[in-house]
Amino acid sequence: MEKDSEREALLERLKAYADSLGLKGVRIAMLCPYYPTLKNPYLGGFSHSLARVHSALLSLSVFVLDNKEENYVYENVKVERASPLKLVKKVLSFAPDLLLVMAAYNELISLVNLIDKLHVFPKVTFSIGRDVYTNLIPASWPDDDAWEKVIKLPYRMIPRRWHIQEFSNMLRLRRYLKKGDQRGDFIIHHSKWVKKMCEMSTLYKAKNTQIIPYPVDTTVFKFQPREGKVEKLICVRPLRRKKDYFGRKYALDLVIRASRGKYETHIYGEGEGLYQYMALARKLKANVKFFPKFFTHRELAELYLQYDMGLMLSRVDSQGVSACEMQATGLPVITSAVQAIPEFATGGTILIKNTEVDKVEKIIDDINERGILEELSWKAHKGIVEKCGIEKVMREHLLLFHQLLNERKL
């Protein structure tokens, strides 16, 4: 009941703010490449974290590209799935005041171009999915030092065989961005790093851009200060195979290597790479336990409260939302100093190089000897609320909607 009352108070504040901006009655169509279902609640979690709040404030429907036609409600959010032509008809029938394009993927850009031929709506596009480095660095890149050096290479120096497959995609995105600038549309990047990568990969700087991170729902990820000493750590990741791109990205092999000391790490997640990582843990005699299960946000929020610290290493990350959610609950996090992660570091974040994972035990020893766990816990929570707390992020979205719609009326 406490959680529900806090959420209701949050929604009331946001609704009053939306009304003060003249957004009452605004209709929003959210276009997604994928979205959660009851059978697969993992896909599209970022989009849903926005949709479930916006749908409580404004009239919002989610439209998902899919060969299978289906209408359903997921946590009070209306979702419609259909093939491109049918989806265009559904969007036009909904008659939105604003389109949210939830990823700059080819399929969604093609869909929007098709909609534009029939009716041009004001648009806000999220740039995730179109930065050259996260798409093209080989998943099997063997050396973490080399990986870091490649990410820093100028675009023109990346070998042609890596980026030729993406060249037409980038040209399409560039045209899309330029057309959006002509119409006064907005682009949202969720970190400074993503903005930089998008500009480098398209060789174009969009005019109307804002950096707004994905939100952390602090009415779900409730704060509880940690006290005493660090004993157990937690890691939550999809268990993808090590040679898979996402397997490299989520760096569970590094988490296992970092857990060869006296502190126990519990790894939660599903995936086909489970037995591969269990074998690696046995080989390295790592102090880890695996819990192969998917958790909802609310289940994760309760789970985090049972631990003293998060261990969330990564090779490629444009925000590190899971680490942000951990810190919102007061869980200090040891994570990697790569790409956008330092932008979301708080006083409760310990950043390390991926080549120095053997230092993790020593870092925890130092925290315990100094007795600073509670201090780190408070700093972690405060910092994340200030950077990407849900109320802050939603206010920024609402203000952006107000600006976009008002400019179109002028």
Are 158 and 43 contained in the same domain?
Answer: yes
Q: Residue 39 has what pLDDT?
A: 77
Q: Residue 199 has what pLDDT?
A: 85
Q: Residue 408 has what pLDDT?
A: 63
Are 32 and 179 contained in the same domain?
Answer: yes
Are 209 and 269 contained in the same domain?
Answer: no
The answer to whether position 78 is within a domain reads yes
Q: What one-letter code names the amino acid at 336? A: S
The answer to whether position 227 is within a domain reads no
User: Residue 226 to residues 13, 94, 99, 212, 306: CA-CA distances in angstroms?
Assistant: 29, 47, 42, 29, 10
- The answer to whether the beta carbons of residues 341 and 315 sit under 8 Å apart is no
Are 182 and 305 contained in the same domain?
Answer: no
Q: Residue 129 has what pLDDT?
A: 52
The answer to whether position 320 is within a domain reads yes
- The answer to whether the beta carbons of residues 53 and 76 sit under 8 Å apart is no
Q: What is the mean pLDDT of each run of 10 residues along the chain (410 residues)?
A: 76 96 96 86 80 93 93 93 95 96 88 94 81 41 47 46 60 89 93 87 89 92 96 94 80 96 95 94 97 88 96 91 96 95 97 95 98 98 96 96 80
Are 31 and 92 contained in the same domain?
Answer: yes
What does the block give as tokens for 196?
């930089």
The answer to whether position 226 is within a domain reads no
Are 149 and 60 contained in the same domain?
Answer: yes
The answer to whether position 221 is within a domain reads no
DSSP strand pairing (209-211 vs 288-291) = unpaired
Report the alpha-carbon distance of residue 258 to residue 13 in Å, rounded: 43
pTM for the whole thing?
Answer: 0.88
Structural domain including 247 reads 232-388
Number of domains into which the chain is organized: 2
